[in-house]
Amino acid sequence: GQQLNQSPQSMFIQEGEDVSMNCTSSSIFNTWLWYKQDPGEGPVLLIALYKAGELTSNGRLTAQFGITRKDSFLNISASIPSDVGIYFCAGQLYNFNKFYFGSGTKLNVKP
Amino acid sequence: DGGITQSPKYLFRKEGQNVTLSCEQNLNHDAMYWYRQDPGQGLRLIYYSQIVNDFQKGDIAEGYSVSREKKESFPLTVTSAQKNPTAFYLCASSPGRGQPQHFGDGTRLSIL
């Protein structure tokens, strides 16, 4: 299947710091999604991106659809303890019916 | 409230046994999906269905089967042919092709 390279694999940060993570692929994607998953629960959709260059915010979260259409970025500003969890990117290839998921970035926030 | 319901939350399977995981949605979504999640890995697609009475294999369909007799239901059977079934199984639905998927809370399957 498709490879989505998500980095970093894990992060340990102090409360109040900003966070950046990204997802890259060798293929061109039509849509990028960002999800957050808490332990033992299903992923929850954070942001959806549909156009190259698009920049979309959801509260303290901002995501961008890379201009090459092969990558996407998620930033979290002023992190708080409830930001702890695993963040997944997902991309959809043009004319395909399914999404491919990255392996996740595990975020730990120290109060 | 609208959403996706997966049951049971925890399931145990004996060797050689088939088990069925339930997924129901009341979002009126056309498309439904089943994923498998292993520790430290992303989600891998098992099966998906774009409309009732139709479904396609995903990347890891071997040892699994599905049915889509009703729009709101997409049960997954883990057969005895699946030799490593221990995992967290996630069901998702979306309004249609290319639309963001919304997930249930998962079923954790373990081998006795």
Cα separation, B98 vs A7, whole angstroms: 24
Q: B1-21 pLDDT, tens per residue?
A: 569 999 999 999 888 899 999
Q: A24-73 pLDDT, tens per residue?
A: 999 999 999 999 999 889 999 999 999 999 999 999 999 999 999 999 99
Interface test with B, best of A96, A99, A100 (most B CBs within 10 A): A99
Interface test with B, best of A9, A97, A106 (most B CBs within 10 A): A97
Cβ contact, residue pair B44, A104, below 8 Å: no
Three-class SS of chain B:
CCCEEEECCEEEECCCCCEEEEEEECCCCCEEEEEEECCCCCEEEEEEEEECCEEEECCCCCCEEECCCECCECCEEECCCCCCCCEEEEEEEECCCCCCCEECCCEEEEEC
Cβ contact, residue pair A40, B106, below 8 Å: yes
Cβ–Cβ contact A45 with B under 8 A: yes
pLDDT confidence tier of residue B81, bands split at 50, 70 and 90: confident
Cβ contact, residue pair A97, B50, below 8 Å: yes
What's the token pair of residue A38?
């808490």
